[in-house]
């Protein structure tokens, strides 16, 4: 059974095959916005400071 593939996905696969230089630009963009080094101490502090959420967040009573 064949898997569904959208028109957009097909277009992007073909476009990337025709423009392999864009892979490098894609990597640069990802590094700029997403691939950031993580500081384990800061991550741990955020996790420790987190408060438990209410069962129903829209409740008006405490």
Per domain, the residue ranges of the chain are 7-49
23 and 16 Cβ atoms separated by less than 8 Å: yes
Task: Read off φ and ψ for residue 3, nearest 5 degrees.
Answer: -85, 145
Per-residue model confidence as pLDDT tens for the chain (62 residues): 678 999 999 999 999 999 999 999 999 988 888 888 889 999 999 999 999 888 888 877 76
16 and 22 Cβ atoms separated by less than 8 Å: yes
Q: Taking the complete model, does pTM exceed 0.75, yes or no?
A: no
């Amino acid at each position: 059974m064949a898997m569904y593939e959208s028109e957009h996905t097909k277009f992007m696969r073909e476009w990337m095959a025709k423009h392999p230089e864009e892979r490098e630009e894609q990597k640069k963009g990802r590094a700029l916005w997403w691939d950031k080094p993580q500081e384990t101490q800061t991550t741990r502090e955020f996790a420790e400071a987190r408060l438990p959420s209410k069962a129903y967040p829209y409740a008006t009573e405490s």
